[in-house]
Amino acid sequence: MRSADPSILWDTIRQGLSKQLPEASFKEWIAPCEPLKMNDGALWIQVPSAAAKLWIEQQLPEEFSDALAQSGLSDLRLEFQVNGAPSAEPRPAPRKAAPVAAGAVEPPVAFPHLFNRYTLDRFVVGPGSQLAFAAAKAVVDSFGKAATPLSMNPLFIYGGAGLGKTHLMVGIGKGLMERDPNLRVVYLKVDNFFNELTVAIRAKNTEPMRKKYQQNDVLLLDDVQTLGKMERTQEEIFHILEHLLQHGKQIVITSDKPPQRLEGCHERLITRFKWGLTADIQPPDFETRIAILKKKLEDVDFKHVPAIPEDVLTFIAHKAKGSVRDLEGFLTRVIFQASLIGVPPSLEVAHAAFQGQSGEEPTAPIHPDRIFRMTAETFNVSYVDLMKKRSRQQAILLPRQVAMYLAREIASMPFTDIGRSFNMHHSTVMNAIDSVRDRMKRDSEFHRMVQALLNSIH
């Protein structure tokens, strides 16, 4: 029986977080927090400021979820209260699952309550996520209907860290539960399954655990790229997937790699991963990053935040290119830094936040020549040909158009200056940039290549 002492529970969670977070992040966000009380199944944690509460709830839900799961506290709700604020009313407990039939095993919690913002209507779609989002919507919309020629079971979503894979996965689960509240939906992260299985093996009692996951209608299996060295875990997951697929249950899987590149995974497991639809998510382009920031500011958590100037959003979008999590984290840090010194968010505050986080000068320019040379190298053309050769051949024309696009995107060069670099009229430059943007929307491989080049230059 677990302790009901808030201090003991919080110490357990802190230990789990200390293993996941960088030391600096742990000291900045977790160390100042203190346990307050247990109330109606929720552990109340006191945080030093509203900005710290915002950061924890917006940026660390997956880390808290893992810490709870690995401590055997998955059903524990966490509530965060700002130091000095009046005691808040407890939130209603999560909806109970459908009654469990006699002899059945109690199913796990559907998904962590800290994932409450992961819904499909909050996902901002860009060129790099159109297929994955369309597939997610289709899984929800077509659930329970007659089978179609296009199988989306399992739906396998892959992409880099922080791009929204878990968001889409949980959004699918929530969308399905809205359609049918009696569905048995479970979110399962591979590392946490491994820990649970280890305990079951020690107790020589793995069968109930397998049945617990086999009896669900929807399985959301997160981060399968970690399966490579887990022989027994692969075996158990295979049996769970096989059972669910044979009984027509929906499976959604995420990974940072496509199925065929999962090292150490058994071939029969990879085959199951590839049975349905595979969709990737790529880093968002500049326009999508701006849209994500504006969508983020519509969240209820940001309703008391002062208006963020457009130049601040543009600066954030230019500097945080790696992932959605980086983008949202930078926005939250700007808000936190502004509140800390008692001023509205501004470009000056954003510069300070960027320098404090990265150690780089925020306004350090990237010379256009670097952009042009790296573009030439990527497309395997000479720098001289890229800049000076008069040719309509695609081997020269396309890299030149991409170089113009990147000069505008990264260095914010005026059209006339870009034209001067290539000895072209500014209207030609504008048409070239529009052409690149249009092709990125139509061609996912081209979009991926340009985005990778952009990220490598910046």
What is the domain extent for residue 444? 368-457
Asked if 119 and 241 sit in the same domain, the reply is yes
pLDDT at 97: 45
Cα–Cα distance for residue pair 410/429, rounded to 1 Å: 15
pTM of the predicted model as reported, rounded to 2 decimal places: 0.72
CATH number at residue 402: 1.10.1750.10
Residue that terminates a domain, selected from 82, 103, 129: 82
The secondary structure of 287-335 as a DSSP string is: HHHHHHHHHHTTSGGGTTSPPPPHHHHHHHHHH--S-HHHHHHHHHHHH
pLDDT at 103: 47
Asked if 132 and 196 sit in the same domain, the reply is yes
The number of helices, as runs of H, and strands, as runs of E, in the chain is: 20, 8
Asked if 340 and 232 sit in the same domain, the reply is no
Decide: 327 and 317 in contact? Cβ < 8 Å. Answer: yes
What domain count does the chain have?
4
Angle at 36 between CA 35 and CA 42, to 5 degrees: 90
Q: How large is the average pLDDT for residues 247-255?
A: 93
Residue 193's φ and ψ, nearest 5 degrees, are: -65, -40
Closest to 435 (Cα-Cα) out of 398, 394, 387, 389: 398
State which H helix or E strand residue 121 sits in: none
Asked if 70 and 142 sit in the same domain, the reply is no
pLDDT at 98: 47
Residues 70-79: tens digit of each pLDDT: 888 888 888 8
Residue that terminates a domain, selected from 281, 307, 337: 281
Residue that terminates a domain, selected from 306, 331, 358: 358
pLDDT at 89: 52
Name 155's bridge partners: 252, 277
State which H helix or E strand residue 275 sits in: none
Q: How large is the average pLDDT for residues 428-443?
A: 91
User: Does 223 fall in a domain?
Assistant: yes
Asked if 43 and 137 sit in the same domain, the reply is no
Cα–Cα distance for residue pair 82/79, rounded to 1 Å: 10
Decide: 154 and 276 in contact? Cβ < 8 Å. Answer: yes
- What is the percent of the chain with per-residue pLDDT over 90, rounded to a whole number? 28
Asked if 336 and 388 sit in the same domain, the reply is no
User: Does 107 fall in a domain?
Assistant: no
Asked if 261 and 321 sit in the same domain, the reply is no
Sheet with strand 250-255: strands edge to edge: 185-189, 218-222, 250-255, 155-159, 277-281
Asked if 255 and 295 sit in the same domain, the reply is no
Decide: 223 and 190 in contact? Cβ < 8 Å. Answer: yes
Q: What is the mean pLDDT of the chain?
A: 84
CATH number at residue 302: 1.10.8.60
- State how far the alpha carbon of 118 is from the alpha carbons of 163, 178, 188, 237, 296, in Å: 13, 14, 15, 25, 12
Asked if 275 and 317 sit in the same domain, the reply is no
**Whether residue 100 has pLDDT greater than 50:** no
Asked if 132 and 151 sit in the same domain, the reply is yes
102 or 15, which is more confident: 15
